[in-house]
Amino acid sequence: MSTAVLAEDLRRVGLAAGLAAVGFTSVEPFTEARAAIDDRRAAGLDGGMQFTFRNPARSTEPERILAGARSLVVGAWRYDVAAPASPPGEPSGRVAAYARVDHYADLRQALAVVADHLEAVGHRTRVVADDNALADRAAALRAGIGWQGKNTNILLPGRGSWFVLGAVVTSADLPPATQPVVDGCGPCTRCLTGCPTDAIIAPGVLDARRCLAWLVQAPGEIPREHRVAMGDRLYGCDDCQEVCPPNRWLGHEVEPHMGPGGSRAWVPVLDLLDATDDEVMATAGRWYVPRRDPRFLRRNALVVLGNVGDRADPRVAAVVERYVRSDDDLLAAHAVWAARRLGLDQLVALAPAGPAVDAERNALAP
């Protein structure tokens, strides 16, 4: 079978399995991505992230994934962004669209169908999606799936950026994309100005130390200077995609295979702060939570409560007081912040002394 015929078969099979786009590229190292990761790490813009920053060579040399690999079949999976308004009368944390359903499981399943097709004709394969083994955007860019926007997301022509990305690494020889997708950003700068923390410090360059999508996943404190801007975000941040004109033109249409993602768009934070460890982690599902420790989600919930809670609601005051009295210094400090933000200053003195609490008490009111 010619490589062109095999590629067409794979594209057909991938699209039939639900992929929104399928592209091909070689396993040549992603030298630009490697240099960008190294530069960002050297400049401190990685903010301590691991992922592809942990071992950049490993993430940018796809041959390491599968001995004898020749090609990557890159796929994009569209996810639903439609969501109901936040529930009235209930302080709720917002969940970014990509994290409401395990879209990576759907993506991997579709890529596995492509892999099965390759295996059936004698090739070896490995599926990788959101895996530290591959810089997915670099692969999608070179496979001609889309262009890289100034917000660093891959946008598909005419279809925007609400996609997750993955690949099948294979021993098969497949015809690589030769034409990059034309940059569709033009003079637009909406994502740079629309980011609540100015985390996109130059077109295509993100400072993770300021990016809310990272800060809600990072261990340690949420930096004080970004807590108000965090607003109601419990997990993830979609602002630089929501303001993006190609996404706005599309509206929020739902494709049939996308599933009821909207149902997990909001998490009631008082319930989360009352929940047991197991219940908190059940809410998190497959979200990235440092060391799978529920306190980091509680920390996020306290910031959300400080931003959107109603001080006159006795349940709000009771939950904040319970956390102010916590012997977990990190949580008590975030509760002290929430108490002051809500105007419940009488609670501040109840916090047990500790490095984070003391710093919080000495800081200016939010």
Site for ligand SF4 contains 151 (CB under 6 A): yes
- Per CB under 6 A, which of residues 224..243 are in contact with ligand B12? 236-238, 240
DSSP 90: S
Distance CA 346, CA 38 (A): 48
Contact 250, 159 (CB under 8 A): yes
How far is residue 95 from each of residues 138, 199, 212, 238, 248, measured CA to CA in Å? Answer: 26, 19, 12, 9, 19
Q: Which is nearer to ligand B12, 1 or 43 (CB)?
A: 43
Site for ligand SF4 contains 300 (CB under 6 A): no
Contact 217, 297 (CB under 8 A): no
Site string for ligand B12, 138-157 (x = CB under 6 A): x---------xxxxxxx---
- Per CB under 6 A, which of residues 5..44 are in contact with ligand B12? 32-33, 36-37, 40
Q: Which is nearer to ligand SF4, 194 or 354 (CB)?
A: 194
Residue 239: active-site member: no
Q: What letters, b where the CB count within 10 A reaches 16 and e where it falls short, cover 175-184?
A: ebbeeebeeb
- Per CB under 6 A, which of residues 230..259 are in contact with ligand SF4? 237, 239-240, 243-246
Site for ligand B12 contains 166 (CB under 6 A): yes
Any idea which residue has 């295509």 for tokens? 204
Contact 167, 75 (CB under 8 A): yes
- Per CB under 6 A, which of residues 37..76 are in contact with ligand B12? 37, 40, 49, 51-52
Binding segment for ligand B12 (CB under 6 A), chosen from 21-29, 197-205, 326-334, 336-344, is: 197-205
Q: Which is nearer to ligand SF4, 123 or 299 (CB)?
A: 299
Binding segment for ligand B12 (CB under 6 A), chosen from 125-133, 222-230, 261-269, 299-307, is: 125-133
Site for ligand SF4 contains 112 (CB under 6 A): no
Contact 137, 76 (CB under 8 A): no
Which among ligand SF4, ligand B12, none contacts residue 244 (Cβ within 5 to 8 A by kind)? Answer: ligand SF4
Active-site residue among 102, 130, 271, 328? 130
Nearest Cα to 107, choosing from 76, 72, 138? 76
Kindly give the interhelix angle for 329-342 and 355-362, rounded to the nearest 10 degrees: 20
Distance CA 32, CA 36 (A): 6
Coil, helix or strand at residue 345: helix
Nearest Cα to 7, choosing from 108, 114, 111? 114
Site for ligand B12 contains 106 (CB under 6 A): no
Site for ligand SF4 contains 199 (CB under 6 A): yes
- How many residues are present in the chain? 366
Binders of ligand SF4: how many residues, by CB under 6 A?
24
Q: Interface residues with ligand B12 (CB under 6 A)?
A: 32-33, 36-37, 40, 49, 51-52, 96, 98, 129-132, 134-138, 148-154, 161, 163-166, 203-206, 208, 211, 213-214, 217, 236-238, 240
Residues that bind ligand SF4 (CB under 6 A): 149-151, 185, 188-191, 195-197, 199-200, 206, 211-213, 237, 239-240, 243-246
Q: Which residues are catalytic?
A: 130
